[in-house]
Every structure is written in structure tokens, then in C-alpha cells.
Amino acid sequence: MRQAYWSTREYVFAAMTVVVLFVVSSVIIPFTLPLRIPGLANAVVSLFSNCFIVIALLRLRRPGSLLLIKGIYALICLMISPVITGFVLTGTIVAEAFCSLVFKGYTNKAAPVVAAVMYQMIAFPAAMFISFKFTPERYHAFVWWVWIAAEAAIFVAALISSLVGLRIANELARAGKLNIEAND
């Protein structure tokens, strides 16, 4: 009998991670979007969400784990806006493809951090490009240094949160509360 790629427990873990990511987004985005500073919402959300993404990737460990988590997230976002779904999937597919090719999954400690940071770094320009295509009236002038500053802020916030997530996962594993070893 052939064993499933992910167990039911792993699907539930991925779904619970998506719930946490939605709670983080639902609390932070309403406070940051009215400020209309490019990348602010992405930077603040990544500061709080990347630690959960890293923990989930360390637990799931297989190629496609980021796509599983963010794919569920994107499907739910489709009910909110196809623009959101577009940039979530763009960042996810690029980060997942890179980590699957380079790291062959998330078996080492660097891969989840790279995937989470890369996802955030790609999602912002994808969001700006897709938003511009659908709502060009929102963009009056392109200020390149603001976009570079936003990408730098997103990178720093995502990296800090990812490293915190790595530390939390290690502590949970040491306490016996999270199995981050190979799932066989």
C-alpha cells in the first residue's frame, strides 16, 4: 500500500498555520493600509508571520510544504480579492521552486528561513505589479527609492522573524513539543 505524501496530522498542522497567518494579517493589515506607505503592511506582517511559516516548514520538511500552506491561504484569499491571491501565489511558487531545486525540501535549517524571506521579498513587487495592472489610478508616480526602502524593510523584518521562528522551533523540539525531525 502506498503511503500518502502528507499525513492527515500534517494537513491539519498546515491548516492551523494558515489560521494563525490569517489572524496575524487580520489584526495588522487594517492598521497599516490606511497609512498608504508602500511595503509597510508587508514588513509588519512578515515581522509577525514568518516565524510561524518557518516553524511549519521545519515540521513538514518536504518539498511543496510552502506551496501547501500558502496554497490554502491563497484559496481563502480568492474570496477576498484575486489580486491578493495573485501575489501570494507568485511569491509562493518562486520561493518553493527555488528551495525545492536548491535545498531539495526543508530538511536543513537554512531552507525554511530562505523560503520565508524569499516569499516576502517576491510578494511585495508582485503585489505592486498586479495592483498596478488592475488599479492603475492608485499609482500617481513611481518613486524608486521608496520601493528599495520598502524591500529593505521587508527583508530585515522577514529575516528577524524567520530567525526567531528557527529559535522557537529548536526550543520546542528540545522540549519535546514539536517534532522537526524527518517525518517517516
pLDDT at 165: 97
In a domain, residue 72? The reply is: yes
d(C-alpha 11, C-alpha 66), whole Å: 12
pLDDT the model gives residue 139: 67
Q: What domain count does the chain have?
A: 1
Per-block mean pLDDT, blocks of 10 residues, the chain (184 long): 84 96 95 88 95 96 95 95 94 96 91 97 92 75 85 97 96 89 52
Tell me whether residue 60 is in a domain.
yes
Instruction: Give me the pLDDT at residue 134, please.
Output: 78
pLDDT at 18: 97
Inside any domain, residue 34: yes
pLDDT (0 to 100) of residue 184: 39
Torsion angle defined by CA atoms of residues 50, 53, 57 and 60, in that order, rounded to the nearest 10 degrees: 170
Q: Is 182 within a domain? A: no
Q: Range of 115's domain?
A: 8-174
- Calculate the CA 23 to chain-centre distance: 14
Grid cell locating 148: 528599495
Question: What's the pLDDT score for residue 1?
Answer: 66
Instruction: Give the separation between CA 97 and CA 35, rounded to whole angstroms.
Output: 33
Task: Give domain status of residue 184, yes or no.
Answer: no
pLDDT of residue 36: 82
Residue 158 within a domain: yes
Assess if residue 154 is contained within a domain.
yes
89 residue type, one letter: L
Q: Taking the CB of residue 64, how many other CB atoms lie within 10 A of it?
A: 16
Flag whether 23 is in a domain.
yes
Write down the pLDDT at residue 67. Answer: 97
CA distances from 72 to 12, 34, 92, 157, 164 (A): 11, 27, 11, 24, 24
User: Residue 183's pLDDT is what?
Assistant: 46
Q: Determine the pLDDT at residue 178.
A: 86
